[in-house]
Amino acid sequence: MTRVTIQSLKGQKARGEKIAMVTAYDATFARLLDEAGADILLVGDSLGMVIQGNDTTLPVTVDDIVYHCRAVLRGTRRAHVVGDMPFMSYQESLEQGMRNAGRLMKDGGCHAIKLEGGAQHAPLVARLVAAGIPVMGHIGLTPQSFHQMGGFKVQGREPGAAERLVADARALEAAGAYAIVLEGIPAEIAAEVTAAIAVPTIGIGAGAGCDGQVLVVYDLLGMDERFKPKFVRRYADVGATVRDACGRFIADVRAGAFPAANESFSLDAPAPAPTPLYSVAGGKS
Ligand code: KIV
């Protein structure tokens, strides 16, 4: 099976083929998403919220992203895997950004890194690309600037914002970014940015005019019934399914109805063949 590459993604934009990106944080989900045909798996710093239970992405560390990248890589065969640069892992200096991006590539094994911010990070993007590290940009609502923005607010509504976003996208493209996430901006502006650059845009809360779309996997699966933002389409009700299935297991245990005889080993039966005690997440069992 051929891997999705930064070149094949650019080809998708040129041919008008939409790009599907989903977040992934572990090998089991990575395998399922890879089999479902996702082009890109993003090991996003959203893991600080959906995995770690923080209110923002700010506490996530480079070690966290490295750990989850390694797991996700084990589950994939086709998807292009991108590791997110956490808050304050690149804002301090070019050297800090180079070192930490290198860690995501070398220790995490990912195929590219993503960083939040526009023209102000163009020098770092150019250095990373020159060193052979593909960079995905991220502009608009940048969750690492939560406190600066005063919350998770749609960006780009004020006068001059569209021009600034186009300028940021052009600066990132000129520095060598191979794709740019557009988050939480009006659809009209996202379409304008998309038309202004040759590299693919991947939208989240940015309308249908982007070259691709991304959602946090837990949100599209409906893991948290309380979370219903406008930009998420819920494709399943997995939260309720998990609660129901585990509730039935718990009830069976309490009633002494699990395990049944055919789910137990017996001295009367021939010795069973050795078998792994748990499924192997990457699907290699
Ligand atoms: O961290 C993340 O998951 C992201 C996407 C939502 C774009 O940055």
pLDDT digit string (tens) for 130-171? 999 999 999 999 999 999 999 999 999 999 999 999 999 999
Find the 242 Cα to ligand 1 centroid distance in Å.
24
Q: Whose CA is nearest to atom 3 of ligand 1?
A: 44
Pocket residue to mutate for ligand 1, from 21, 40, 42, most atoms within 8 A of Cβ: 42
Q: If you write DSSP's letter for every residue of the chain in order, what string do you get? A: -PPP-HHHHHHHHHHT--EEEEE--SHHHHHHHHHHT-SEEEE-TTHHHHTT--SSSTT--HHHHHHHHHHHHHH-SSSEEEEEPPTTSSSS-HHHHHHHHHHHHHTT--SEEE--BSGGGHHHHHHHHHTT--EEEEEES-GGGHHHHTSS-----STTHHHHHHHHHHHHHHHT-SEEEEES--HHHHHHHHHH-SS-EEEESS-TTSSEEEE-HHHHTTS-TT---TTPPP---HHHHHHHHHHHHHHHHHHT-SS-GGGS--TTSPPPPP--SS--TTS--
Ligand 1 environment, Cβ below 6 A: 23, 42, 44-46, 84, 181, 183, 204, 214, 216
Q: Whose CA is nearest to atom 4 of ligand 1?
A: 44
* Residue 183: per-residue pLDDT: 98
* Residue 84: per-residue pLDDT: 98
> Is 183 one of the annotated active-site residues of the chain?
yes
pLDDT along the chain (285 residues), means of 10: 96 97 98 98 98 97 98 98 98 98 98 98 98 98 94 92 97 98 97 98 98 98 93 97 98 98 93 82 59
Report the percentage of the chain scoring pLDDT > 70.
Answer: 99
Q: Which of 35, 163, 173, 183 is flagged as catalytic?
A: 183
* Residue 140: per-residue pLDDT: 97
Find the 251 Cα to ligand 1 centroid distance in Å.
37
